[in-house]
Amino acid sequence: MNAGTEQKNGSGLLVYSSKTGNTKKLAEGIREGLAAALTGEEIRLATVEENPDPAGASWILLGFWADRGSADQKTLQYLKSLEGRRLGLFGTLGAYPDSAHARDISQKVKGLAAEKNTVLGCFLCQGKIDPALTERFKSLPADNPHAMTEERMKRHLEAAKHPDENDIKAAVSACLAMVKALPEGAT
């Protein structure tokens, strides 16, 4: 068989939303990792702004950035258009991925996705926080609930190192497990 005319076994769609590049970096890493592991499967990469048509995709991975305790608006908008899909989620956030805040976001977005789809899982990792937001926190009075504290500054500095190579590796293996999960009813 000639290269380029190779028969594809199936296809997946990887869609992401990213304001400052963290989720884009993660999505591109996931695509590369999945393409290497799932030879013969076509994987389409698109941004939510492109509003890709999911027709024909046997799975979808949707990537978001955390925005005020949920997924960002563009992701939520795109999510509304999905129905009856096998859908995996991944995202970046400023908080630690093992924090209660991250768990709340994961539960919330999974819950929204599950209203009309089969949810395959949700992977989260830290992503550097927009320096403008860090500066805004710094300018708040000490009695403001969002005021900068030593602990918060430590978290912002840690977030600044992510997503890194380890996050991408972890995301690839989590997403592989999601897309390989057997469809409901399969034995």
Residues that bind ligand FMN (CB under 6 A): 18-24, 65-69, 92-95, 101, 127-130, 133
- Report helix, strand or coil for 163: coil
The distance from CA 88 to its chain's CA centroid, rounded to whole angstroms, is 8
User: Minimal distance in Å, beta carbon 89 to ligand FMN?
Assistant: 14
Q: Which is nearer to ligand FMN, 56 or 69 (CB)?
A: 69
User: Minimal distance in Å, beta carbon 101 to ligand FMN?
Assistant: 6
Q: Which is nearer to ligand FMN, 38 or 160 (CB)?
A: 160
Q: Which is nearer to ligand FMN, 66 or 168 (CB)?
A: 66
User: Minimal distance in Å, beta carbon 59 to ligand FMN?
Assistant: 22
Q: Which is nearer to ligand FMN, 70 or 118 (CB)?
A: 70
What residues are paired with 126 via a beta bridge? 93
**DSSP letters for 112-158:** HHHTTSEEEEEEEEE-PPPHHHHHHHHTS-TTSTT---HHHHHHHHH
Torsion sign over Cα 114, 117, 121, 125: negative
Rounded Cα distance, 115 and 113, in Å? 6
User: Minimal distance in Å, beta carbon 84 to ligand FMN?
Assistant: 27
